[in-house]
Amino acid sequence: MIRVSTGIEGLDEMVNGGIPAGHTVLVMGPAGSGKTTFALQFIWNGLVKDEACMFISLEEEEPKIVKTASRYGWDFQRYVDKGTLSLLKLDALDISATMARLKSELPKIIDSTGVSRVVIDPFTVLEMLYETDHERRVHTFELCDIISKTGATTLVSSELGKDGRSSWFGLMEYVVDGVILLRNTPITGSEDRMVFTILVTKMRWSNHAKEIKPYDITDKGIIIHSKSAVF
């Protein structure tokens, strides 16, 4: 089986060397836990390996995506110009247009350019567009099926629900192949501070790490301290 390196220091060894190619993985966490950074870093690692990649945002316009990546030293513009990176901002308010565009364009774009990595950030916004749970379930399953059939390795992000452990609607974790839970926890002690922690709660086809590991968000992106324990 081919595994796709995330490019995030310390993470590949937590997931048996990488995410199984073609799988869809959910990265969920509270505000500011690094979901977008994680997703950009996953794309960056594909770009530098000459893979065609696609970053779909429900939040930021294309120039803003480029700017956010550049804050970590990742020159997305170079790959947009080269033609190996497609950026797409989707309208979070017009549900039917957005879904129609995704359903018709995604397979076409991915097939024609051979895109191997896709990100949808934040996926929660798509889930929020539906009026009923039934509609949400049907359309989420359908969209994930379309994504899966493209064969691209996909990362989608979600905000956390009120329990702090499930995705916003408690649905996506059952649909996807893998789930990575990010948290920012305040620690009280001699020095009060916040620690970021990561836990792989699901990774199909993988004997993944079961321990919670600390990570830092730095000028160069996310670094997971996979040798350290959280205390």
Ligand X SMILES: Nc1ncnc2c1ncn2[C@@H]1O[C@H](COP(=O)(O)OP(=O)(O)OP(=O)(O)O)[C@@H](O)[C@H]1O
Q: Nearer to Mg ion by C-beta: 31 or 93?
A: 31
Question: Binding of Mg ion at residue 41 (CB under 5 A)?
Answer: no
Size of the site for ligand X (CB under 6 A): 11
Binding partner of 46, given Mg ion, ligand X, none, CB within 5-8 angstroms per partner class: none
Strands 3-4 and 117-121: unpaired
Binding partner of 32, given Mg ion, ligand X, none, CB within 5-8 angstroms per partner class: ligand X
Q: Given strand 213-218, what is the order of strands in its sheet?
A: 85-89, 53-57, 117-121, 153-158, 24-28, 178-187, 193-203, 213-218, 221-224
Q: Nearer to ligand X by C-beta: 150 or 154?
A: 154
Strands 19-20 and 3-4: antiparallel
Convert residues 16-35 into a mask of x (bound to ligand X by CB under 6 A) and - (unbound): -------------x-xxxxx
Query: Nearest-CA neighbor of 176 among 218, 199, 147?
Result: 147
Question: Binding of Mg ion at residue 124 (CB under 5 A)?
Answer: no
Question: Binding of Mg ion at residue 36 (CB under 5 A)?
Answer: yes
Question: Binding of ligand X at residue 183 (CB under 6 A)?
Answer: no
CB within 8 Å of 109: residues ≥ 6 apart: 54, 86, 115
Judged by the rule CB under 6 A, the positions of this chain that interact with ligand X are: 29, 31-37, 217-219
Judged by the rule CB under 5 A, the positions of this chain that interact with Mg ion are: 35-36
